[in-house]
Amino acid sequence: MPTPAAPWAARAVGRTMARMELGALVAAVDDRSPRGIAATVSRLARNGELRPGDRLPTVRATAAALGVSPATVGSAWRALAAVGMVGARGRAGTFLLPGPTGWLPPRYRDMARGAAAALDLSTGTPDPALLPTLGPALARVGARTPAAVTGTYLSAPLVPELEAALRASWPFPPDRLTVVDGAVDAIERTLGQVARFGDRVAVEDPGFPPLFDLLDQLGLERVPVPLDRQGMRPDGLAAALEAGASTVVLQPRAHNPTGVSLTPTRARDLAAVIRRHDRRAAAAAEAAGTGRRPREVHVIEDDHSGEIASSRDVTLGAHLPRQVVHVRSYSKSHGPDLRIAAVGGPGPVLDAVVARRMLGPGWTSRLLQHVLADLLVDGAAVDAVAHARRVYYARQRTLCEALARHGLAVPPGDGINLWLPVADEATAMIRLEAAGVRVARGTPFVASAAEPGPGHVRVTVASLADGVEEVARRLALAAAA
């Protein structure tokens, strides 16, 4: 985290930024009315060219550069202040304020940024119409449990009915199982046990932006590993481990954003890379005579799409059961507001996760656990999830076929997201915004610091039930050079 600048330095930076932004502001204004000037500032803020804390040029400087009266610019600034976008600090000037999503971490905030659109394909969330109905499950659980259970502070954090359902479907036999409040919560808590401040973590490139924010928050350094159509590449993982990565975080299926899923062969190859690395590290330690056994590499698998994924439930845990923590989220299959993700893996890691959690939230609501356990065995709910899985599979392929008819060949993936290549990301975003379509920018998903190539956007197909041909046409036009 950068050291806060002294007050005089902040003022100097503010003056420099004001001069720099004036030219950009003038170039961007095409309507010199108060409304047009205010709209330009708003657009620059949404696009990230202006950021919270940036100082706007003075009213007089802006008026002179635009060739309008100071009253015109003053009206624009007052309009922005009225909606909470800017704030005046006396002689210090007028500054851009954090938006209503200022509480979001940086890459989350980038994903939330953008104008409202007639068709929002940016969210990464499931189609609400395809989620199982909660009413019957709530009624059944409520009848069995008429009041919130008391005396549970030291009870097991995982209810037996849910544990039985999880064990029956887990992709490898875990020592321990527990549930936490969502997949990112599971990853954060597991990283807290297997990684130390300053450690390096191998991540997929592209990957999940909130994971990158999380690693930054924890003081962990990410080491990007490229993907192909079978998942994380073994040669890239080997290079990351040689570079010092001691933990690997990967998505075994329905990768966000690419839709790629691990094949059984690729999982076996990745496990072999880790096993060879651990053997070499142990041999080197023994040869050095340190008497200390080096840490084994741990793998955290984020199966965020869970039961809506069509691919096989492939895991490195089948090959490295003592080193793999598998996370399965039920947000996309049963509803994000259930806030339940299951975590299974080696006893020492999971016991430490549960023990630390007992000093915080303690446990995930047992009422919600009973609801999920009911949904996992209820025939109607099981059918609803199976139906959703088939619908998402079909929507992916329908959109890809329509894109191909418009000259854009994109292989369909698994899950609810499509990784769409574009000639220029900024141009594609502007074209889609003008067409009333909102997607997620590709840049926040990129883990490496290398210069970006042509670019991508992420398209969520979850709710794309109608008008696919027209959407494909707009996406293809936006992607073109």
Strand extents, DSSP E, 114-214: 119-120, 176-180, 200-205
Every domain range in the chain assigned CATH 3.40.640.10: 154-365
Q: How far apart are CA 365 and CA 381, in angstroms?
A: 20
pLDDT of 112: 63
Q: How large is the greatest C-alpha to C-alpha distance in the chain, in angstroms?
A: 78
Q: How far apart are CA 444 and CA 453, in angstroms?
A: 14
Q: How far apart are CA 457 and CA 472, in angstroms?
A: 13
What are the structure tokens assigned to 235, written together?
């040669």
The reply to whether CATH 3.90.1170.50 applies to domain 154-365 is no
The single-letter code of the amino acid at 373 is: A
Averaged over 454-474, what is the pLDDT?
95
Phi, psi for 55 (deg, rounded to 5): -90, 130
Whether residue 173 contacts residue 332, with contact meaning beta carbons closer than 8 Å, is answered with no
Give the pTM: 0.80
Helix (H) or strand (E) holding 116: none
Q: How far apart are CA 93 and CA 309, in angstroms?
A: 52
Q: How far apart are CA 397 and CA 308, in angstroms?
A: 15
Whether residue 304 contacts residue 330, with contact meaning beta carbons closer than 8 Å, is answered with no
Read off the pLDDT of residues 348-380 as tens digits, 9 standing for 90 and up. Answer: 999 999 999 999 999 999 999 999 999 999 999
Strand extents, DSSP E, 138-264: 176-180, 200-205, 221-228, 231-232, 245-250
- Local confidence band at 111 (pLDDT 50, 70, 90 cut-offs): low
Averaged over 123-145, what is the pLDDT?
94
What would you report as the CA-atom Rg of the chain, rounded to the nearest whole angstrom? 25
Averaged over 122-132, what is the pLDDT?
95
Q: Check whether 420 has a pLDDT greater than 90.
A: yes
What are the angstrom distances between the C-alpha of 276 and each of 228, 320, 435? 22, 12, 51
Q: Check whether 102 has a pLDDT greater than 80.
A: no
Every domain range in the chain assigned CATH 1.10.10.10: 7-96
Q: Which long-range contacts (CB under 8 A, 24 or more apart) does 388-391 make?
A: 388/126, 388/127, 388/130, 388/131, 388/308, 388/333, 389/307, 389/308, 389/309, 389/310, 391/127, 391/130
pLDDT of 114: 60
- Specify the pairing of strand 119-120 against strand 221-228: unpaired
Read off the pLDDT of residues 146-199 as tens digits, 9 standing for 90 and up. Answer: 777 666 678 889 999 999 999 999 999 999 999 999 999 999 999 999 999 999
Phi, psi for 231 (deg, rounded to 5): 115, -160
Q: How far apart are CA 190 and CA 356, in angstroms?
A: 10
For the 106-130+381-479 domain, the top CATH level (class) is: alpha beta
At residue 190, the 3 state secondary structure works out as: helix
Whether residue 438 contacts residue 114, with contact meaning beta carbons closer than 8 Å, is answered with yes
Every domain range in the chain assigned CATH 3.90.1150.10: 106-130+381-479
Fold assignment, 7-96: Arc Repressor Mutant, subunit A (1.10.10)
Question: Which of the pair, 165 or 31, is modelled with greater confidence?
Answer: 165
Number of Cβ atoms within 10 Å of the Cβ of 421: 16
- Local confidence band at 25 (pLDDT 50, 70, 90 cut-offs): confident
